[in-house]
Every structure is written in structure tokens, then in C-alpha cells.
Structure 1
Amino acid sequence: MIEPQPTTEAAPAVTRRSVTDAESRAASRRWWDADADDYQAEHGAFLGDTEFVWCPEGLREADARLLGDVSGKRILELGCGAASAARWLAGQGAEVVAMDLSEGMLRHARTASDRTGVPVPLLQADALALPFGDLTFDVVCTAFGAVPFVADSQTVMREVARVLRPGGSWVFSITHPMRWIFLDDPGEAGLMAVQSYFDRRPYVEQDTDGVPGYVEQHRTLGDRVRELVAAGFVLRDLVEPEWPEGHTQVWGQWSPLRGRLFPGTAIFVADLR
């Protein structure tokens, strides 16, 4: 989501270009496997071992209750990372499966389960081909997992609908689409609009051979709503968490300066018809 910068021939490039699902999948697996240790070192304390934190604004499921009463429900967490949300859900009486594409992130999930004594089943799999039968879950959820990193997010919506039971809920958080207008900067430089909201080309970091190392996808709010409706969902709520008073932590592009002016996160709450 950063404006492409001039690069030398020997330096990796930042660009906006189309990528295939295969390129996105390979890039995400490599990136999160390599970055897992640094990510947990930087953000693990904020996310907690047994907390469900929806976003850098610090909105917790314990307060928001976007999933409702989860006791006794069968829940899939997509893009679980270190699976802190899954362990929180297990503590609330849910039957949870946590899934991620990255073995590096799942390694941290296993370590945290051992550390907390709250084990949850962990599965390495692709959100574009969920390895579950139809009508398996009551709820599917993810905090910034899977959805922003696949080229064909419509297929993710259809796969989630397939494994949900009628009336089941699909709740996911992503970077707020309007953030793509701005530079990925938590300071004053990140307050100036520099890119078109309607440019849906993904943000790509690639090496000198043009191989993507990191890929993140942009869709407009309308695009996301249409994806949900096409997959058979009814949008129940769209939550745009406000920056809380006294929250001073900077997380990447998220900061008190920007958070007071415009939303950084969008949380879609949808039910299967």
C-alpha cells in the first residue's frame, strides 16, 4: 500500500501490478514463514496469548462480541497466525480449528499453546481450498488473515459459505479500503492522498527477477459487499473502529495521528442466508 518508489537495477522493487493466485500464495507463504519471528517479537505482546484482538486499534472480541455467544459453536479461524484468537474462543467454550498458510506462524501457535496450556487443533492449508466438508462450521472468522493476500478473494467468500451451516456467521477484519489512498506512513506524510481509491492493482514487493516476495490486495468497500452478496451472505454490520483515547502504540501505518482522522480497519459482519 506504499506508493512505488524509484529503484536501482540491483534493488528490490515496489510496484503495483497484477499477480496470479499462485504468485500470491507462494509470496505469502515465503513472507510469513520468514517474518514470523520478527512479527511475534514486535506484536505478540499487544495481541496476547489468549486474546482475540480484531485490529491495531485494539478492539477486542471480549468487548465487541461481533461473534455473539460462541459457547458450543464450531468455529474456524482463517489466517490464524499464532492463534491467540482461537485460544480465546476455546476458553469461551467454542470448538475451534485454527488454520494458516504459514508453517512459521503455526510454529508460534504451537509454542503459545504449550505455554498457555490451551491447545487448539492447527492446520496448514489454503483459504482458496478449505479442507473441510460442506456445512461444517457455525462461524468462520479472521483478523487480517487470508482475505487481503489472495488474488481471488471471491473464491474465499464462496469457500467460507460452503463450509458454513445455514445462518452461520462470517466475520473478518481488513485494512480499511480508504487507507489505500494514502502513503503507508504513520506520520504527517500519511495524511496526503496520493493514489486512486479505484486502482485495484495489488501492492507488490518483488526481487530483481520480478518474483513477488510480498503481495497485498486492494478492493473497495463496494467490491467487498458485492463479493459477500454473490456468495450468499447478508451484511449485518460494517464496523470501523475508532482510535481509543490513551492508545499511543504505533503499528506500521496505524498511529494516533491518523487514527483520530480516518478509519484504519474495516470489520465485515455477515450471515449466510
Structure 2
Amino acid sequence: MLSGSSRANRWWWDGNADDYQVEHGEFLRDTGFVWCPEGVDEADAHLLGEVRGRRVLEIGCGAAQCARWLVTQGARVAAFDISHRQLRHAQRIDLDTGLRVPVVQADAESLPFADDAFDLACSAFGALPFVADPLAVFREVRRVLRPGGRFVFSVSHPIRWAFPDDPGPRGLTSDRSYFDRSPYEEQDESGTVTYVEHHRTLGDWVSLLVASGLTVAGLLEPEWPEGHERVWGGWSPLRGRHLPGTAIFSCANT
């Protein structure tokens, strides 16, 4: 059974997938692995290591751009998303590119995959900011990863929570406590929650990973690159010069 957060976010992404792909599709590329709005590209960063011949799971794949790039690198890929509409975009891009990514609709808190099924798992802003129980997700990831497997995921940097989600000067002044873990929610006119995003501090993320049995092997806080002028929501060159916008965790299933 889906949690309240999962139900709300499935509804939201089904309703906003079209606009999202129109706005961000060119930056993400139909066949590209972009970790974050700062533009960290897996082709250059190699955070997953060697992928050729490896069994890889993409978590919260959206239109499966990252998974599709992995296919071009010789990986054996499966991907899932909670949003049916996002997966329809994945099918559309498959037809356009001639590349096929096996996708399934699923909730990250309960993965429909066998134990030890994958060598690698990855998630570029997929699922984890939106789930009510990230520990359940991490335990599921550990279950489907073989011993020694690697898991890499990106999320909004926790420090952003203390600042307005504004790409301009207003976004440089903190207006709430970093330690306030109240989720951000949107509701419709009837009071039904239609969107939820959860905040965890940096310490929360590390503690959750340790509790799941995963080992934190690295943490990347990308700097805003020179010449990169694209604004994505609250991410911008102005804010990026002062505040980290993304945290990328590398983990091992030891």
C-alpha cells in the first residue's frame, strides 16, 4: 500500500511530467546521465565506475534518460518510477532513439526485484526527496544489490532547506531553521495533499544509510561551474557561487 507521500507525488508527477520534460528535457538529454542542476555528467565523473556488463538499477528514473545512457555504455539496465506518465515519456524517447530501457511502475519503498539482482544502483534526484521512509528505500536497495555492490544517489543539498527556493538575491538569506524537519506540502482546495517533499539534514542521511547496513564511501558537493548560466528552480549561478545545491552520496553494500 502506498504511503500518503507516495500517493501525492504519484499524482503530482503524473500531472506535471509533460511540463517537466518540456522544460528540462534538453538539459537532461534523451540519452545522458546528468546528476544534478550543476551539470555533473556521469560520462566525466565516473561515480558508478565501470558499468559495461554490469546489472544496473535506476531508482526514480523519470523518462529514463540516465538508464538509456547506461545502455549505450554496455550495462544491463532496469529502471522504475512511481509515475506512469513519466514512464510514457520513457517509451516515447525509446521510440525516438531506437534504444530500449526495460521500465516498471513501482514505489521505491517496496522494490519488485529479487535479492542480489544488481551490481549497481543509482538515482539522480529520483524518489528519495519524496518518500516518507528513506530507511525502507535504503534497505530495499541493499536487498537487491549483491554484496560489494555500489549505490550512488543525488538529492538537494540539505542546507538549501534553510533558504527560500528562489534563484535571486532573496534566496541568499536564511528564513527557517536547518533543523526544522517539517515536510514541504502542497494541498488542493479540499485540503488533500498533492505534493510532498521531505527534509533530512546531512547527519540524517548518513545515519539512515548506516542504519540500513550500507557504507558511505564518498560525498560530493558539486561547485557551480564557470560559464553555466542555466537556472533550474532555486538553482542558479548566483546561489551556486555561495551555497551547495546538491549532495551526491556514494555507498557500498559491504
The number of residue pairs the alignment matches comes to 254
8 Å contact from structure 1 (residues 21, 152) kept in 2: no
**Which residue does the alignment assign to 1:34?**
15
Return the alpha-carbon distance in structure 2 between the equivalents of residues 218 and 145 of structure 1.
15
1:111 aligns with 2:92: yes
1:98 to 79, 88, 91: 79
Task: State the 4+ residue runs in structure 1 displaced beyond 2 angstroms.
Answer: none
8 Å contact from structure 2 (residues 2, 107) kept in 1: no
8 Å contact from structure 2 (residues 56, 76) kept in 1: yes
Q: Percent identity?
A: 61
Return the alpha-carbon distance in structure 1 between the equivalents of residues 153 and 185 of structure 2.
22
The residue type paired with residue 207 of structure 1 is: D
1:199 to 168, 176, 180: 180
Q: Which runs of 5+ in 2 are unaligned?
A: none
Return the alpha-carbon distance in structure 1 between the equivalents of residues 122 and 88 of structure 2.
20
Describe how 1:110-129 pairs up with structure 2 within 5 A.
110-129=91-110
**Which residue does the alignment assign to 1:216?**
197
1:254 partner SS: coil
Return the alpha-carbon distance in structure 2 between the equivalents of residues 234 and 23 of structure 1.
29
1:89 aligns with 2:60: no
1:43 aligns with 2:55: no
Return the alpha-carbon distance in structure 2 between the equivalents of residues 146 and 41 of structure 1.
20
Return the alpha-carbon distance in structure 1 between the equivalents of residues 121 and 206 of structure 2.
17
Return the alpha-carbon distance in structure 2 between the equivalents of residues 36 and 193 of structure 1.
30
1:264 aligns with 2:245: yes
| TM-score between both structures, scaled by the size of structure 2 | 0.98
2:90 partner SS: helix
Return the alpha-carbon distance in structure 2 between the equivalents of residues 242 and 113 of structure 1.
32
Return the alpha-carbon distance in structure 2 between the equivalents of residues 25 and 205 of structure 1.
13
CA RMSD of aligned residues (A): 1.0
**Which residue does the alignment assign to 1:165?**
146
1:238 to 214, 219, 222: 219
**Which residue does the alignment assign to 2:132?**
151
Return the alpha-carbon distance in structure 2 between the equivalents of residues 160 and 29 of structure 1.
20
RCO greater where, 1 or 2, for CA within 8 Å and sep 6 or more? Answer: 1
**Structure 1 stretch displaced more, 141-150 or 20-29:** 20-29
Return the alpha-carbon distance in structure 1 between the equivalents of residues 11 and 164 of structure 2.
25
**C-alpha distance 130-252 of structure 1, shift in aligned 2 (>3 A):** same
TM-superposed CA distance for 1:48, in Å, is 0.1
Return the alpha-carbon distance in structure 2 between the equivalents of residues 167 and 140 of structure 1.
12
1:248 aligns with 2:190: no
TM-superposed CA distance for 1:207, in Å, is 1.6
8 Å contact from structure 1 (residues 186, 250) kept in 2: yes
| TM-score between both structures, scaled by the size of structure 1 | 0.92
1:60 to 16, 21, 41: 41
The residue type paired with residue 233 of structure 2 is: G
TM-superposed CA distance for 1:21, in Å, is 6.2
Q: Which runs of 5+ in 1 are unaligned?
A: 1-19
1:136 to 111, 114, 117: 117
TM-superposed CA distance for 1:208, in Å, is 2.6
Q: Deviations over 1:202-257 (max 9, x none)?
A: 10011232211110010000110011111111111100111010000100000000
8 Å contact from structure 1 (residues 181, 196) kept in 2: yes
Q: Deviations over 1:113-152 (max 9, x none)?
A: 1101110101101111100111110111010001010111
2:169 to 185, 188, 192: 188
8 Å contact from structure 1 (residues 21, 150) kept in 2: no
The residue type paired with residue 158 of structure 2 is: P
Return the alpha-carbon distance in structure 2 between the equivalents of residues 79 and 234 of structure 1.
21
Return the alpha-carbon distance in structure 2 between the equivalents of residues 163 and 208 of structure 1.
40
2:129 partner SS: helix
The residue type paired with residue 55 of structure 2 is: R
2:71 partner SS: helix
